[in-house]
Chain A
Amino acid sequence: MSMDTQPASLTATPIAGPNPIIEARGLVKRYGRVVALDNADFDLMPGEILAVIGDNGAGKSTLIKALCGAVIPDAGTIKIDGSPMHFSSPMDARKAGIETVYQNLALSPALSIADNLFLGREMRKTGPMGRFFRLLDRAEMNRLARAKLSELGLMTIQNINQSVETLSGGQRQGVAVARAAAFGSKVVIMDEPTAALGVKESRRVLELILDVKRRGLPIVLISHNMPHVFEVADRIHIHRLGKRIAIINPKDYSMSDAVAIMTGAMKPPTIGG
């Protein structure tokens, strides 16, 4: 790692201090002749909110999908807590403690809030009914769902059994975040959590993100919304042309600087590699 130029920008780089939770090196992903990830690196430190910004087509989504198992990179390594991981599906990443709130939320509109919270990891009754007849423990799932939503101050949602499609956009986002926070033991990744929301609902979701951080979970936040990014992020990972070109501290740079680096109008502060 050469840290020769603009050392101010490097005060928050991952090199010093504790070990990263997620450490990815040299990720490559090609779709035909399109190179979506070109030797991309990524570091997430414990307890931080790391924003990932980049122009459309810069490869943010592919990067995030590689981290959460939805895309298998052609090359490169991903380490979680220092141990190398190979995710071949989102389930693998979830087992490793990485929960993702997708931009489309990955909720089933016709199913209830409780069903959605436990989708793909339903709890069965103990004893023979659960073991032989696969009976779901609905009472326990409802109880936990209520507890998780109240923990995040989302109990304005009255009925845990109402279907998700009857909720507002912000409430749906809340359900998706609650699901991730409830099951994420290491990291929560959020893809454009405020993109589809109005001002008031965005505010609510940003508070939710800070709530999750206070509970000690580091968060990766992908967003196009610079004011939101600068409000909550501890560090900003700038992605351009398939790789990480800078990590900046939002306190040291202005929003327009970040946009300039992102679009190539400004020379990025050097990071190693």
Chain B
Amino acid sequence: MSDDTAGATLAEKGLASGEQEVASFEDSRHGPLRQLQGFLHSYPTAIPFIVLIIGILIFTVAAGTRFFAPFNLSLVLQQVTIIGVLGIAQTLVILTAGIDLSVGAIMILSSIVMGRLSVVAGVPVEISFVLGLLTGLACGLVNGLLVALVRLPPFIVTLGTWSIYGALIILISRSETIRSQDIAAIAPMLQWMGARVALGGGAILTAGSIVMILIACVVWYILNRTAFGRHIYATGDDPESARLAGINTKATLIGVYSLAGLICAIAGWVVIGRIGAASPLAGQNANLDAITAVVIGGTSLFGGRGSIIGTLIGALIVGVFRNGPALAGVDVLWQEFAVGGLIIVAVTIDQWIRKISA
């Protein structure tokens, strides 16, 4: 390569030796760090799973049986149900390299539509329930159309619709909460998600938690066992490649945002079940907590990588780190501190794993 006067053949030889250097680089993949990277690349949910186990161990040591008791652990599951369902919706969107800031607003808007129509407007509960679901679907569809057809960045679209759906919440609810007693009297079906199922040893499941797991199973099936699911990953991974490979990326995006909207509407039903009432102020933190759960669960904000199981584990981590410190008598401040640290660690690890092919 040092010979400047070399002809084409020599230049090719130079190329050849360059090639071998690259090849020898690849040999260093067998180092322990590389192996770890390869392992995490194949099993990206390993880290959140380990963090969850460590979290449970720490708080078990710190708070003893107040924390590690069937009742409390099932309480954690109840507490993360809303975050979990919203997180599933958010996972779908983030897999396409998008983000949906409006999931919390869609959830509340749907719950208000269900509650207000059935209690105030006197619409039969089944119909107002379906209209509530359709509200969520329509909100998601609007997001999807703006992202896919108008080609606006998802962040901007959903920042805008977050405000718009928020305004609709105030408009429709007139800032009034539909009281729990009224819903129980007129539309008890809307509170069904709060139904309790006692397991042994003090553990109590709600219908909402079971539904969260059912939704997770359905979405897992869609992502991993249907062509639509594969297209979601491909669209998020590299939209141009996906398009050239024959995938209708616009239809995929519209489908994803719409499905996410529908799942948010179900989350709205879960909210009524959890608090009993249909309140315009419910679930204020759920929006960002859901994004936190998705990110801690190992789903990449750059799209194309991630899983529903990871998101569920992420939601549980958020729940454990909220519940555990309180029981261990630690200042509430440190809960947020720990969750914030986890987000940054999770994204750092994601960046590192993504470099595997470099």
Contacts from A to B (Cβ < 8 Å): 70, 90-91, 94, 100, 102, 104-111, 115-116, 119-122, 124, 133-136, 138, 163, 165-166, 168, 198-201, 227
Could you tell me the distance in whole angstroms from the C-beta of B28 to the nearest C-beta in chain A? 15
* B8 to chain A: closest residue by CB: A227
Assess whether B225 is interfacial by the CB under 8 Å rule: yes
Q: Is the CB of B242 within 8 A of A108?
A: yes
Q: Is the CB of B8 within 8 A of A107?
A: no
Assess whether B234 is interfacial by the CB under 8 Å rule: yes
Given A122-B227, A166-B41, A198-B22, verify A109-B12 contact (CB < 8 Å).
no
Q: Is the CB of A122 within 8 A of B230?
A: yes
Assess whether B150 is interfacial by the CB under 8 Å rule: no
Could you tell me the distance in whole angstroms from the C-beta of B257 to the nearest C-beta in chain A? 19
Could you tell me the distance in whole angstroms from the C-beta of B289 to the nearest C-beta in chain A? 26
Assess whether B182 is interfacial by the CB under 8 Å rule: no
Q: Is the CB of A70 within 8 A of B16?
A: no
Among B12, B227, B304, B356, the most chain A Cβ lie within 10 Å of the Cβ of B227
Interface membership of chain B positions 22-37, coded 1 if the CB is closer than 8 angstroms to chain A and 0 otherwise: 1000100000000000
Assess whether B228 is interfacial by the CB under 8 Å rule: yes
Contacts from B to A (Cβ < 8 Å): 8, 12, 15-16, 18-19, 22, 26, 38, 41, 221, 225-228, 230-231, 233-234, 237-238, 240-247, 304-305, 356-357
Complex Cα–Cα for A70 and B240 (A): 11
Q: Is the CB of A111 within 8 A of B234?
A: yes
Q: Is the CB of B241 within 8 A of A105?
A: yes
Q: Is the CB of A94 within 8 A of B246?
A: yes
Q: List 29 A-B contacts (CB under 8 A).
A: A90-B243, A91-B246, A94-B246, A102-B241, A102-B244, A104-B240, A106-B241, A106-B242, A106-B245, A107-B238, A107-B241, A108-B234, A108-B245, A109-B237, A109-B304, A110-B233, A110-B305, A111-B233, A111-B237, A115-B230, A115-B234, A119-B242, A120-B242, A133-B226, A135-B225, A136-B227, A136-B230, A165-B356, A198-B15
Among B227, B233, B245, the most chain A Cβ lie within 10 Å of the Cβ of B245
Question: Which A residues are in CB contact (< 8 Å) with B221?
Answer: 133
Complex Cα–Cα for A120 and B247 (A): 5
Q: Is the CB of B241 within 8 A of A108?
A: yes
Q: Is the CB of B246 within 8 A of A120?
A: yes
Among A108, A122, A134, contact of B233 (Cβ-Cβ < 8 Å): A108
Question: Which B residues are in CB contact (< 8 Å) with A115?
Answer: 230, 234
Q: Is the CB of B241 within 8 A of A121?
A: no
Among A111, A119, A198, contact of B246 (Cβ-Cβ < 8 Å): A119
Q: Is the CB of B226 within 8 A of A111?
A: no
- Starting from the known contacts A119-B230, A136-B230, A198-B15, 10 additional A-B residue pairs (CB-CB under 8 Å) come to A108-B238, A108-B242, A110-B237, A115-B230, A120-B231, A136-B225, A166-B356, A199-B12, A199-B15, A201-B19
Among A90, A108, A163, A200, contact of B16 (Cβ-Cβ < 8 Å): A200
Complex Cα–Cα for A121 and B246 (A): 8
Question: Which A residues are in CB contact (< 8 Å) with B237?
Answer: 108-111
* A65 to chain B: closest residue by CB: B244
Q: Is the CB of B357 within 8 A of A166?
A: yes
Complex Cα–Cα for A232 and B175 (A): 74
* B226 to chain A: closest residue by CB: A134
Q: Is the CB of A199 within 8 A of B19?
A: yes
Given A90-B246, A136-B225, A136-B226, verify A119-B234 contact (CB < 8 Å).
yes
Complex Cα–Cα for A251 and B130 (A): 72
Could you tell me the distance in whole angstroms from the C-beta of B36 to the nearest C-beta in chain A? 15
Question: Which A residues are in CB contact (< 8 Å) with B241?
Answer: 102, 104-108
